[in-house]
């Protein structure tokens, strides 16, 4: 699978609304956040590849997933070129919003300098923004 833009990728938000469930739409297209500890991948250890649930682009390898105990799946590295970063000043904080580089859907936030791992980054990602493709 390449990261070429598929021809059937929705263009308008109305098209996205039809394709996604209401809960997926609220997070992926309206930058919502699923409640902590409720996502299906919080504690998942299954080896595999995490793809964007909206467009299928490859985002994270399970090799970079770690236990941050923050309530959301956490990774210390994204696959090269998979992420678009946006400055987010909502809720009185300066954060880095993380979006899918291919379809611009919201995934979560990136935090730096917390020293959870040697890479010193935490991608805090909504489970509902991803689909795990288990390794063979």
Q: Which residues are catalytic?
A: 124
Burial of 111 (0-12, 13-18, 19+ CB in 10 A): middle
CA–CA distance, 111 with 115 (Å, rounded to integer): 10
With CB under 5 A as the contact rule, the residue among 27, 31, 49, 52 that binds Zn ion is 52
Q: Is 98 in the site for Zn ion (CB under 5 A)?
A: no
Per CB under 5 A, does 54 bind Zn ion? yes
130 counts as binding Zn ion under rule CB under 5 A? no
Chosen residue from 20, 31, 42, 57 binding Zn ion by CB under 5 A: 57
- Helix (H) or strand (E) segment spanning residue 66: strand 65-66
Among 79, 103, 121, 130, binds Zn ion (CB under 5 A): 103
Can you tell me the distance from the alpha carbon of 59 to that of 61, in angstroms, rounded to the nearest whole number? 7
3 vs 117, which CB is nearer to Zn ion?
A: 3
Residue 116: CB minimum distance to Zn ion, A: 25
- Interaction of residue 55 with Zn ion, rule CB under 5 A: yes
CB of 4 to Zn ion, least distance (A): 13
Q: CA torsion 9→102→134→126, rounded to 10°?
A: -100
Total of residues contacting Zn ion (CB under 5 A): 8
Which DSSP symbol is given to 43? T
The rounded distance, in Å, linking the Cα atoms of 108 and 31 is 8
Residue pair 61/51 in contact (Cβ under 8 Å)? The answer is no
- Minimum Å gap between C-beta 118 and Zn ion is 28
Tell me which residues touch Zn ion (CB under 5 A).
52, 54-55, 57, 100, 102-103, 105
């Amino acid at each position: 699978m390449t990261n070429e833009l598929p021809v059937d990728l929705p263009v308008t938000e109305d098209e996205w609304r039809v394709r996604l469930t209401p809960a997926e739409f609220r997070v992926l297209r309206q930058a919502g956040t699923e409640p902590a500890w409720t996502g299906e991948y919080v504690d998942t250890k299954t080896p595999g590849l995490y793809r964007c649930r909206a467009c299928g682009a490859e985002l994270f390898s399970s090799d970079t997933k770690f236990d941050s105990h923050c309530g959301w799946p956490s990774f210390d590295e994204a696959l090269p070129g998979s992420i678009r970063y946006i400055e987010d000043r909502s809720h009185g904080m300066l954060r880095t919003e993380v979006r899918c580089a291919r379809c611009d859907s919201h995934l979560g936030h990136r935090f730096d300098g917390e020293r959870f791992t040697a890479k010193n980054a935490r991608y805090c990602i909504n489970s509902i923004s991803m689909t795990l493709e288990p390794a063979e």
